[in-house]
Amino acid sequence: MSAASFASLLAAHAKLFAARRPGLARGATLPTLERSARGVVADPTWLSDYRRVCGLADDGSLPTLAPQLMAAPLHLALLADPAFPIAAMGIVHVANRTEERVRLPDGAALDLVARVAGSRETALGVEIDLVTEATLAGALAWKTTTTALSRRRGEASGERPKREAPTAGVEGAPLRSVIVRVPEDTGRRYARIAGDLNPIHQRAWLARPFGFRTAIVHGTWTVARALAECQDDLPLRPRVVEVRFRKPVPLPSSVVVSAWRRADGALDITVAPPKGGTAHVELRVTPS
């Protein structure tokens, strides 16, 4: 990323985070917003940097979440739209569901569409769905639904709906189990590639005002890094990658990435603290 484009990204983030928003009233619906871009091709240098920071081997295919990052300017534009009622600051990424219908080669020219797809009330606040689609030669090739939570002040705390997921060491021998070190600068390195300069990923002192003791790494980095450790074990496309973010990964830290093969051919992956306890992230990759 050039200095000029980094500066413009920084300015866009500053504007986004500074903007005052009324919030979504209980029972209200989100406006229909959509942004698109045609013929988007991953820059080879960017792709190489992305793979390097996530530990992904180059197999000639776009990594699972690469189109989502390629669509980051569209997401930024949606959140910056004056009609979008929720402040970007404080939104927590809680889930992701990605459909990979075909293998996308590195140089694929993708038509990208991002839209606000709806919202629902939960015990903790309002969950927002952001859908991103990638079309290749007129056919839908890739689609992801990103679910983010916007907490409401004074909302009674409650149990977040939990998806069933494997627990390390309980459901038989894992296929993989590896400790991955997450260096302190991971958030800063990844932010430049992902175009996400949220201060909670940058430095501990920047993250503290938002309730974190340390900076935390991006959830999409954690997912990509976990998939990298299981790159050859993933079911072939078409497949669905479901992700549930349970708790953030602090910086620096180590995490255990473990994978189990299910009887139906799906792969369950957890990213957990080495000492055990609640997983940071749970993934299920299912052939479709």
Partner 1 sequence: MSAGMTTPAASVEAPAPPRSSKPHEFIPVEAPSAEQRRSRSATFAGAGEKRSRYHLPERLDSSSPVGYRTRVSLTRAEAETMLSVLALPRPTGFVPGPTPAESELFEECSLGVMTARQSTNFRGHRDVLLGPDDSARAAALLRRIGTSGVPVLDGAAYTHVVLARPYRTAFTLLLTFVGHRALSSLATVPMRAWAKRFRHADDIPTIGHLTELHLGVLADAMERAAVVASAGRRRAQVFLRPMDAPADPEALRELEALAGLGAKERALGWRIGLVAQVGYATTGERVAMEPSSARRIGAALLALRSERIQPGVNAEESAPAPYQERQAMDVSDALTEQAGRAAYNAFAHFTGVDRDRARELLLLERIDVLTPGGKDRLRAVRTQLAEVTDRVVKEIPLWADLPTGRALSRNAARGRKAFALAGQRIYVGGLSRRDVEASGLPFDFAVRAFGAAAARSALVAELSGTTEIPAGCDLLAGVCLMAGPVNQNDIGKQFHGASDLLAEAHPDRDPTSLLVWTLKAKTVADPIGNEQQLLDASRKGALVDLRPGPHEVVSLRRGAQLTPMRSRDGRLNAERAFGDVGNFVSAPDGREIAGNRGSAWPSSWSQEVSW
Per the DSSP assignment, residues forming a β-bridge with 260 are 268
231 part of the interface to partner 1, by CB under 8 A: yes
**251 — phi, psi (to 5°)?**
-115, 130
Residue 55 found at the interface with partner 1 (CB under 8 A): yes
Judged by CB under 8 A, which of 228, 238, 252, 287 binds partner 1? 228
- Pick one of 131, 233, 238, 287: the residue that binds partner 1 (CB under 8 A): 233
Integer CA distances (angstroms), 214 to 39, 202, 250, in order? 39, 9, 6
Only one of the segments 31-39, 50-58, 63-71, 104-112 lies at the binding site for partner 1 (rule: CB under 8 A); that segment is 50-58
Q: Please give the size of the binding site for partner 1, defined by CB under 8 A.
A: 35
The answer to whether 278 contacts partner 1 (rule: CB under 8 A) is no
Binding mask 160-189 for partner 1 (x = CB under 8 A): --------xxx-xxxxxxxx-x--------
134 binds partner 1 (CB under 8 A): no
Interface with partner 1, residue 257, by CB under 8 A = yes
Residues that bind partner 1 (CB under 8 A): 51-53, 55-60, 168-170, 172-179, 181, 228-233, 254, 256-259, 274-276
